[in-house]
Amino acid sequence: RNVTFVDNGRVSYSNPVRQSLFEFADCADGGKPKAEAAAAALRRIFPGVNAAAHELTIPMPGHALTVQAEIEQARRDTEQLEALIKAHDVVFLLTDTRESRWLPTMLSTLHDRMLLNVALGLDTYLI
């Protein structure tokens, strides 16, 4: 009954048509934070759930951080991500790029957590 959403994005108009936890109203005024909107929607659907939201960025290989403030934020985000992974039994990974999947995959492996990769953003598709 514990579900935690992690995302740094905002709900855009393309999200509600393909992601059922978002509604058109979530897109207004630049969009609500995705993690927060998803957790709120899940609580409306199933009031017995303990749904939490965290807005953070997953540091990615090949994406250089050159400003000290970015480096410090990446360290904080990595520490928070690691703590969240350690506190959960299963990680459902739904990020769009291989680069964004690397760190959660490594941390899940390090801490012996099951990770289910349900990702988009692959190089080839079979339809």
pLDDT in tens for each of the 127 residues of the chain?
A: 899 999 999 999 999 998 999 999 999 999 999 999 999 999 999 999 999 999 999 999 989 999 999 999 999 999 999 999 999 999 998 888 888 899 999 999 999 999 998 866 555 555 5
pLDDT, residue 125, reads: 53
Q: Token pair for residue 40?
A: 């709120």
Asked if 102 and 76 count as a contact pair (C-beta separation under 8 A), the reply is no
pLDDT, residue 94, reads: 86
pLDDT, residue 98, reads: 83
Q: Dump strand ranges (E) for the chain.
A: 2-6, 50-54, 90-93, 114-117
